Amino acid sequence: MKHLLYKGSHSVYSLHYHLIFVVKYRRKVLDDIISENLKRIILRISQDYSVEIVEQETDLDHIHILFSAKPVLTIPKFVSTLKSHSSRILRKQFPQLRKKLWGKSFWSNSYFIATTGQVTLDVVKKYVENQGKP
């Protein structure tokens, strides 16, 4: 995949993130139909935040989302919105989920997020260490 550079008024950036969140109690509820609805919901919410979804895929109890964002994105707010809105919409669309997920939670409270890049951390570290050396 080609690494795109984006330009702001005073910056050039390429920020990509790998986000994972898990269904509460690791319940295996993300079948094909629910999964496709979830992906559409995430795409819609992401547009409101000017976030580009590069790739997303589910397993039965979690979702992986690879996305690109501007440096001004407040990640905790974005993730919170993804989780709360998708939970509310999915529970409304699929009332049968209440049998496996009681209460108001669809997602576990925690999430995983990591930055991604074209090069490894070791390569960047060596590059920085060698600055100013002949």
Alpha-carbon distance of 113 to 100, in angstroms, equals 26
**Could you tell me the residue range of the domain that residue 66 belongs to?**
6-129
The beta strand positions in 8-105, using DSSP E, are 12-13, 16-22, 52-58, 62-68
Quick one: tokens of 52?
């580009």
Residue range 49-64, pLDDT digits in tens = 999 999 999 999 999 9
When pLDDT is cut at 50, 70 and 90, the band that residue 83 belongs to is: very high
pLDDT at residue number 10: 87
CATH of the domain at 60: 3.30.70.1290
The number of distinct structural domains making up the chain is 1
User: Residue 4, Cα to own-chain centre: how many angstroms?
Assistant: 18
Instruction: Say what the alpha-carbon torsion angle 80, 77, 73, 91 is, to the nearest 10 degrees.
Output: 30
Q: Is residue 134 part of a domain?
A: no
- Please give the pLDDT value at position 40: 98
Of the chain, the percentage scoring pLDDT greater than 90 comes to 72
SS3 127: helix
pTM of the model: 0.87
In a domain, 41, yes or no: yes
Q: Tell me if 53 is assigned to some domain.
A: yes
Is residue 13 in a domain? yes
Question: Per residue in 87-100, pLDDT tens?
Answer: 999 999 999 999 99
Residue 13 backbone dihedrals phi, psi, to 5 degrees: -150, 160
